[in-house]
Structure 1
Amino acid sequence: MSDLAITGLLILSLFLILGSGVWIGLTLSGVAWIGMQLFSSRPAGDAMAVTIWGSASSWTLTALPLFIWMGEILFRTRLSQDMFKGLAPWVQALPGRLLHTNVVGCTIFAAVSGSSAATCATIGKMTLPELARRGYPEHMVVGTLAGASTLGLLIPPSITMIVYGVAAEVSISQLFIAGVLPGILLASLFSGYIMLWSLRHPQQVPAADMRMSFMQKLSASRSLIPVVLLITSVLGSIYTGLVTATEAAAVGVVGALVLSSVQGSMNWGTFKQSLMGATRLYCMIALIMAGAAFLTLSMGYIGLPRHLAQWIASLGMNQAQLIAALALFFIVLGCFLDGISMVVLTMGVLMPTVQSAGIDPIWFGIFIVLVVEMAQITPPIGFNLFVLQGMTGRELPWIARVALPMFLLMCVAVVLIYLFPGIVTWLPQQMSAR
């Protein structure tokens, strides 16, 4: 049976099982079992047991539930209420004024939460009612929030980076550091767009609040100090090489517990809700990763990754053409799968091709995170679109339309990191040189 026929059969099986409502993790395991049972001589049951146990017992993966728990704790604190008061005085003088609170708020919260959905919900809870009350145009408020909330995937700690690091066997600490400058670049592009829009439509931007002195601004920003200290402790400890990513996650959880206790928002109910929320989310991700690990093993036995790499090499594409083709592939795939499923489903097949093309795996990880970010705001499965639909009551096509400029800015960011790869690789190189 030809590779094309085998691939077609497995893809058909994947969509048939998914369409029947089976969980993604179980679907991946089922497709892997079909492939190994039909097209490999190794017993499928034995391979599945060994692979799933190995995937679930990875020490590197320990960082994932800890960072998820840290985000869940902070999601339930008063941070979202205090953050607007702390940020608003500093952005009043910029063109676009308080619209920048979406971008700056998401950037700050992304650095303590690895989830774009949590970032979208937390910052949206803060800015949507405030900006609507002050008369800012809804399409700009929702559009900028949709785009900026995806920074939860790019600015470390990032759940998607951890999943990629485990799947591609790449240093998670280096991935975290590599995401800092691209995250700042993307946030700057979003803020730049807000400024240009406001200069073209000055009549749609409400008047500034009363002017405040520098000391008054500092006083209003007191509530930001604890979260800035938490960000510094987590990322600083990784960058200086004092701790691994897993140990930094433990530092983050302890810091989040202390922060929420000092704020007075930590009680037994909040603790239990945060722990159960993190457990549910991690179990879902772990099941997907276990299924994907088995599928990767199955594909390896069948030989599909090797044959795919040979086929792509035979096309004679250069690096730019390969990156463009992969970006288009992931954007289309993002219309049907969530980001984590996209990463774990494809890495086993694509990494041999990427390595043979001479692409830096750290750079490729940031590229993957960027295109997965795009998938968060593309219908019909863009998860952030669903979060915003629940918060605003607007139709999905309208939200996708107002988020389109942010999507195009992400495309610009992909082009920039390709033309200037040092944006991604410079900080990891400095870290390695220490």
Structure 2
Amino acid sequence: MNEITISITLLVVLFALLAGGVWVGLTLAGVAWFGMEVLTGRPAGDAMAMTIWGSASSWTLTALPLFVWMGEILYRTNLSENMFKGLAPWVNALPGRLLHTNVIGCTIFASVSGSSAATCATVGKMNIPEMRKRGYPDAQIIGSLGGPSTLGLLIPPSIILIVYGVAAEVSISKLFMAGVLPGILLAVLFSGWIMGWALLNPGKVPKAEDNLSFKQKIYETRHLIPVVLLIASVIASIYTGIATATEAAAVGVVGALILSASQGALTWKSFSESLLGATRLYCMIALILAGAAFMTLSMGYIGLPRQLATYVGSLNLSPEMLIIVLGIFYILIGCFLDGISTIVLTMAVVLPIIKAAGIDPLWFGIFLVITVETAQITPPVGFNLFVLQSMTGKEITYIAKVCAPYFFLMVFALVLLWFFPGFVTWLPAKML
């Protein structure tokens, strides 16, 4: 079968399983099993067992449950409320008011976790209850969390940038610096969209709680000190080389426990509830990761990503058209594979194509990561959508709908980066 027939067949199986109410992780594993058994000569049983074990035992992924646990601990203290007290006086003057705390929180935490799922889960655990308590509409709460949380893939330190740097033989330090300005650009675009929505829908934004003077605002900022100290300790442990991302996550958990104890909020009940809450959420995430890992292996055996990439290379397109086609290709394939697997499976074919077209591999790395970010909030396998579903109880289609504006903002950012490549290349050239 050709790649189009294979794609349609797998889509039919995927939607049939989802329509039958099968869990997402099991659906991904089922599609992978079908693809391997029916479309290849490779037995699926032992491959599935080895892949799921490899996914479940990955040391790199241990940072994720630790960051999720950190969020659960903070959720059970008044730190989230304090964060709002400290930020509210400054963002209350902006259209959209406290919705901007989602963007600010995700941007800050993205520089700590390197994972969009961890960013989404941690910030969401703190912000969603506070937003709902203050009367903000669910659509804007979820959308302003789903889109900005994808910054965990772009703002350094980023695991996916490391994978691309190794695969494309591009300096990882340059890639890290190249991701800073595009990350800030996306955060500004996200806040800009919130302000635009708020100006068009003033009646849906709750009124500012207080109208404080500048001196009073400075005083209220004291509530941010515990959160800032916690985040600073995690960031400092990474950037000074004292700890890896996983070890820094452990620093975050210890810091959260200390802060919780200092407030008198750490009891055996709150400790056990936070641990159980983190376990439940991560088990859901781990099952999806395991299914995605097996699906990635199955796609590799079928050869679908490589076939599609080779087909794109055979079209002999201009650089502009090539970028458009590759952008669409990666957005589509990202609907079914995780970002790291997408890069690993296609880079051997795509990299020579972009080099031949005269496209800077450093610039292309940032372009690629942003396209992978869009896949985090696009169905049917948008990972952040499932994280948000587990926290809000909303349908996937509803969450995808309210996150759609942020998808288009990321596409707009890609257009800006094409016309203004200095956003990507200026900082690495300046500092190295």
TM over 0.5: yes
The alignment of Structure 1 onto Structure 2 pairs a total of residues equal to: 416
Q: Does the C-alpha gap of structure 1 residues 427 and 271 become closer, same or farther in structure 2, counting only changes over 3 Å?
A: farther
Q: Write the distance in 1 (CA, Å) between the matches of 2:245 and 2:175.
A: 10
Same amino acid, percent of matched pairs: 53
Does residue 212 of structure 1 match 2:213? yes
For 1:370, the aligned partner's letter is: E
Does residue 150 of structure 1 match 2:147? yes
Q: Write the distance in 2 (CA, Å) between the matches of 1:53 and 1:401.
A: 34
Q: Write the distance in 1 (CA, Å) between the matches of 2:6 and 2:203.
A: 59
Q: Does the C-alpha gap of structure 1 residues 177 and 267 become closer, same or farther in structure 2, counting only changes over 3 Å?
A: farther
Q: Does the C-alpha gap of structure 1 residues 184 and 30 become closer, same or farther in structure 2, counting only changes over 3 Å?
A: same
C-alpha contact 1:110 1:119 (8 A) present in aligned 2: no
Q: Could you say which residue in structure 1 is the equivalent of 2:123? A: 119
Q: Does the C-alpha gap of structure 1 residues 64 and 418 become closer, same or farther in structure 2, counting only changes over 3 Å?
A: farther
Q: Could you say which residue in structure 2 is the equivalent of 1:413? A: 413
The counterpart of 1:363, out of the listed 366, 369, 375, is 366
Query: Which consecutive residues of structure 2, in runs of 5 or more, have no partner in the other structure?
Result: 355-360
TM-score norm. by structure 1 comes to: 0.74
Q: Could you say which residue in structure 1 is the equivalent of 2:263? A: 263
- Between stretches 301-310 and 422-431, larger displacement belongs to 422-431
Shift of 1:258: 1.5
C-alpha contact 2:32 2:295 (8 A) present in aligned 1: yes
Q: Could you say which residue in structure 2 is the equivalent of 1:286? A: 286
For 2:28, the aligned partner's letter is: L
Q: How does 1:99-118 map to 2 (within 5 A)?
A: 100-101=100-101, 103-105=103-105, 107-108=107-108, 114-116=118-120
Q: Does the C-alpha gap of structure 1 residues 425 and 122 become closer, same or farther in structure 2, counting only changes over 3 Å?
A: farther
Q: Does the C-alpha gap of structure 1 residues 413 and 402 become closer, same or farther in structure 2, counting only changes over 3 Å?
A: same
Q: How does 1:68-83 map to 2 (within 5 A)?
A: 68-83=68-83
Q: Does the C-alpha gap of structure 1 residues 374 and 38 become closer, same or farther in structure 2, counting only changes over 3 Å?
A: closer
Shift of 1:330: 6.7
TM-score norm. by structure 2 comes to: 0.74
Q: Could you say which residue in structure 2 is the equivalent of 1:275? A: 275
C-alpha contact 2:165 2:175 (8 A) present in aligned 1: no
Q: Write the distance in 2 (CA, Å) between the matches of 1:402 and 1:190.
A: 13
- Between stretches 189-198 and 34-43, larger displacement belongs to 189-198
Q: Write the distance in 1 (CA, Å) between the matches of 2:203 and 2:20.
A: 51
Shift of 1:28: 2.5
Q: How does 1:9-158 map to 2 (within 5 A)?
A: 9-92=9-92, 100-101=100-101, 103-105=103-105, 107-108=107-108, 114-116=118-120, 119-120=123-124, 122-130=126-134, 132=135, 143=140, 146-148=143-145, 150-155=147-152
C-alpha contact 1:173 1:244 (8 A) present in aligned 2: no
Q: Does the C-alpha gap of structure 1 residues 221 and 255 become closer, same or farther in structure 2, counting only changes over 3 Å?
A: same
Q: Write the distance in 1 (CA, Å) between the matches of 2:46 and 2:429.
A: 41
Query: Which consecutive residues of structure 1, in runs of 5 or more, have no partner in the other structure?
Result: 133-137
User: Residue deviations 1:327-354, cap 9 Å, x none?
Assistant: 55676789x88xxx65478556544454
For 1:413, the aligned partner's letter is: A
Q: Write the distance in 1 (CA, Å) between the matches of 2:180 and 2:77.
A: 25
Q: Match of 1:416, SS? A: helix
For 2:300, the aligned partner's letter is: G
Structural RMSD (CA): 4.6
Q: Write the distance in 2 (CA, Å) between the matches of 1:274 and 1:411.
A: 37
Q: Write the distance in 1 (CA, Å) between the matches of 2:245 and 2:405.
A: 34
